[in-house]
Chain A
Amino acid sequence: MPKMTINGIAMEFERGTTVLEAARFLGIPIPTLCHDDGLRPYGACRLCIVEVGVPPQSTLQSACTLPIEEGLIVKTHSARVDRARRLLLELYVATCPQSKTIQDLASRYGIHEVRLEPKYEDCIQCGKWMRMCAEQMRAGALGFAYRGGRRKVMFPFRHRSDICRQCGACLYICPVCELRCQGAQPETTLCSGCINFSPSCLHYHDQAMCFLEPCAACELAGPLRLAGPLRKDLVWHKPEPPKEHGELL
């Protein structure tokens, strides 16, 4: 069985396992939008990217479509991956700010501002609709059309298809349909009901040292835990919430 290293953990996995499956097995959380266990991997959302190889030749690849192989070295939370994921999520929020799934992801990954104009589109072209219809419901009524910026999901010739059984599976699987919380500041691009922290060990180790959600304790201890005994002279101040809650200046 091929042996690979993921976040420093060397392990053997069955041939045919993807890096995403391997990471999940080990309890390493990798965000996804276009992935579903019941559907064939697609690799369109790019959120599951991980750093493969050793710098400076390493590249970012989507974990869901990457099969494991002997000697593969993967880092799921390096500084490079983190920066790319955040920029991606910033773009996701700007594209579909009304989606709860995307706002939750943004919150979890510490997105504090969105510098792009909100577009309120209702589709991120994750392909789940199409794959669900074809692979699970065995109908295959709709697919993509056009290319590049004009690409979209549609029924061929825009007629309701005679293959479509109106089972609703497509609505069930869509990750952006669920609307975000309509509570505080519903008109803002970025929902910021939660305070989130970024792991401070990232700056010191070029990767997060644990994969739990960062919390206040991590922020408090921060460089202290790594540098030596507790330093009483350093005091923690509660961070000010950003003045403009992610609105475009």
Chain B
Amino acid sequence: MGDMPILAGIPARNKWEGRESLIPLLQEVQSQFHYLPEDVLRAISRRFQVPLRDIVHVATFYNCFSLEPRGHHQVKVCLGTACHVRGAQRILDRILRELGMAACGTTRDYAFTVEPVRCLGCCALAPIMRVDQRTYGHLQQSKVPKVLQHYRSLVEVAA
């Protein structure tokens, strides 16, 4: 069966116990592949008898899922209210300019994915951005190029 090998690669932390397992399963796929590949979603639909249109709706409804491949490093700029009044939009604009991007998304070389994120809950340190697991607070525009350069050099080392 074509779909079994694809699904076999996904860690079965939670057994499938019906429709309620869909979102945790998609979260596993997202964390392993860094996005939700079309063929994996089709395989899930066939294997667990969930209509494909429902899976696609769930995949496009929630912020943590992406149908497009994401970059090596996830740059999430918090656009919560406290961050907004402290210039978060300007930080986001600066990041996009530094990376030559017209809008949020993934860079052509798949080094970075930049997206706004809903309040990370560290409002006293506004404005904030999170790159992968690390949170940077009290951001200023002038600090942005250095931080991005640090992560870019990691990508080059990995390449």
Contacts and interface: CB of A to CB of B under 8 A. Distances in A.
Contacts of A143: 51, 53-54, 56-57
Interface string A140-181: 111111110000000111000100000000000000000000
A165 to B, nearest CB: 15
Contact of A141 (B53, B57, B60): B53
Interface string A34-48: 000000000000000
B61 A147 contact: yes
B51 A145 contact: no
B3 interface: no
B57 A145 contact: yes
A136 to B, nearest CB: 15
Contacts of B54: 143
Contacts of B57: 143-145
Contacts of A140: 51, 53
A147 B56 CA distance: 12
A145 B38 contact: no
Contacts of A161: 52
Contacts of A144: 53, 57
Where chain B touches its partner, the secondary structure class is helix
A147 to B, nearest CB: 5
Interface size bracket, B side: 10 to 19
A144 B41 CA distance: 16
A37 B155 CA distance: 58
Interface string B33-74: 000001001000000000111111100110000000000000
Contacts of A145: 56-57, 60-61
A160 to B, nearest CB: 13
A173 to B, nearest CB: 17
Contacts of B41: 156
A95 B60 CA distance: 24
Contact of A146 (B38, B52, B55, B61): B61
Of the candidates B41, B53, B55, B60, the one having the most CB atoms from chain A within 10 angstroms of its own CB is B53
A157 B55 CA distance: 11
Contacts of B60: 145-147
Contacts of B56: 143, 145, 156-157
A143 B52 CA distance: 9
A156 B56 CA distance: 6
A238 B151 CA distance: 74
Interface in A190-241: none
B23 to A, nearest CB: 14
A204 to B, nearest CB: 46
